[in-house]
């Protein structure tokens, strides 16, 4: 709360005398220190609003999974809001022990339900606004946030396209990153439970304990670590700089 400043206007000769006497007779008070501005709220996994950093223009997240490392490279320009959300989830430890709870062969591998029920409850309504589509397609290896099919309903669930799924492009599924290492490990994720889309609610409520008891063969993320993006390869001596690739116009 900002301090309220009170200004007292003294009028008349008597008031002026009294003010002068007060200044000369009373001991000088030490100047008051300016009130400190409240510190910003510390990032807290149980308070989604505190996880709001803007992501770098390009960064990588290494997912250490039960089948090996999977490295996702994110380009913020493709989908800024999605890139920011993934960055904040990864740096906060949200993905620790999160399962690949829905792996459908010939389609995709879905994750993003926390291993902690209290975290799932905290994030239940923390959706982000849509990003314009059109810059990238849902081809094999692309990473995309799931939606409910309605506008502005991206939360914490994501999927890795295991094949080209371009039919998703006009449906609001906007890729923000790409698997650049370890796609062969994604192909090994356990699929024996079938399409488990109808299990999402109980996984959110039961967390890791429920998964360990009822779906113990699911693969999971042990840790997610943000690492620097790979530097661009130096141009060959004497070579002309390559022209920037044209991007499709974003759709609203």
Residue 16 has pLDDT above 50, yes or no: no
> 104-128, pLDDT tens digit by residue?
999 999 999 999 999 999 999 999 9
- Looking at residue 37, its pLDDT comes to 53
Count each helix (H run) and each strand (E run) in the chain, helices first: 5, 8
Residue 206 near residue 114 (C-beta atoms within 8 A):
no
- Looking at residue 18, its pLDDT comes to 27
CATH architecture entry for 54-227:
Beta Barrel (2.40)
Closest CA to 224 of 112, 142, 120: 112
- Other beta carbons within 10 angstroms of residue 66's beta carbon come to 16
Token pair of 122 as six digits = 């905290």
> 159-216, pLDDT tens digit by residue?
999 999 999 999 999 999 999 999 999 999 999 999 999 999 999 999 999 999 999 9
Domain boundaries, the chain: 54-227
Hey, is 154 helix, strand or coil? strand
Angle at CA of residue 162, ends 160 and 168, nearest 5°? 70
- Looking at residue 190, its pLDDT comes to 98
> 202-235, pLDDT tens digit by residue?
999 999 999 999 999 999 999 999 997 766 556 5
Residue 1 has pLDDT above 90, yes or no: no
Hey, is 83 helix, strand or coil? helix
Residue 111 near residue 158 (C-beta atoms within 8 A):
yes
> 56-71, pLDDT tens digit by residue?
999 999 999 999 999 9
- Average pLDDT (14-20) is 30
Q: What CA–CA distance (Å, rounded) separates 78 from 57?
A: 10
- Looking at residue 5, its pLDDT comes to 33
Q: What CA–CA distance (Å, rounded) separates 80 from 192?
A: 35
């Amino acid at each position: 709360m900002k301090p309220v400043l009170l200004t007292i206007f003294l009028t008349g000769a008597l008031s002026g005398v009294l003010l002068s006497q007060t200044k000369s007779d009373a001991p000088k008070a030490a100047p008051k220190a300016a009130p400190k501005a409240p510190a910003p709220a510390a990032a807290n996994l149980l308070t989604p609003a505190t996880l709001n950093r803007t992501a770098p223009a390009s960064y990588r997240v290494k997912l250490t999974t039960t089948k090996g490392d999977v490295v996702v490279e994110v380009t913020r320009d493709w989908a800024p809001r999605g890139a920011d959300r993934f960055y904040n989830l990864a740096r906060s430890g949200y993905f620790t022990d999160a399962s690949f709870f829905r792996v459908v062969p010939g389609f995709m591998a879905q994750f993003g339900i926390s291993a902690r029920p209290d975290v799932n409850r905290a994030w239940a309504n923390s959706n982000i606004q849509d990003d314009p589509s059109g810059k990238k397609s849902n081809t094999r290896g692309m990473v995309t946030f799931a939606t409910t099919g309605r506008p502005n309903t991206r939360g914490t669930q994501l999927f890795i396209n295991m094949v080209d799924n371009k039919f998703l492009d006009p449906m609001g599924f906007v890729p923000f990153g790409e698997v650049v290492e370890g796609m062969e490990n994604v192909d090994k994720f356990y699929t024996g439970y079938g399409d488990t889309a109808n299990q999402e609610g109980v996984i959110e409520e039961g967390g890791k304990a429920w998964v360990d008891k009822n779906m113990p063969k699911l693969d999971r993320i042990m840790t997610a670590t943000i690492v620097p993006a790979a530097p661009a390869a130096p141009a060959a001596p004497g070579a002309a700089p390559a022209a920037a690739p044209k991007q499709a116009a974003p759709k609203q």
